Amino acid sequence: MREIEIRDESIRLGQLLKLADLIEAGSDAKDVLASGDVLVNGEPETRRGRQLVPGDTVTALGETVGIVARGH
């Protein structure tokens, strides 16, 4: 599992997918989420605006990333 650092207390799912290079553009998030293949903490998620915090994990397109706070 790869770790992605965030500088704020939370990040939206659509932003994380782009930050983690799982999608090329923010507009791609809608299609990826609609496919039903995005999991947040093991549960299917379709909301691009879902707030993620350090400790959450996201699995999409065969890759899992964990969210950590910057400096930890």
* DSSP-assigned beta bridge partners for residue 65: 2, 58
pLDDT at site 44: 96
User: Are 55 and 42 spatial neighbours (Cβ–Cβ below 8 Å)?
Assistant: no
Query: pTM for the full model?
Result: 0.91
Q: How much of the chain exceeds pLDDT 70, in percent? A: 99
User: Are 38 and 32 spatial neighbours (Cβ–Cβ below 8 Å)?
Assistant: yes
pLDDT at site 27: 85
Range of the domain at 44: 2-69
Q: Is the pLDDT of residue 34 over 70?
A: yes
Q: What gap in Å lies between CA 49 and CA 12, rounded to an integer?
A: 5
Number of domains in the chain: 1
Segment 53-64 shows an average pLDDT of 96
User: Are 70 and 27 spatial neighbours (Cβ–Cβ below 8 Å)?
Assistant: no
CATH of the domain at 21: 3.10.290.10
Residue with tokens 């915090």: 53
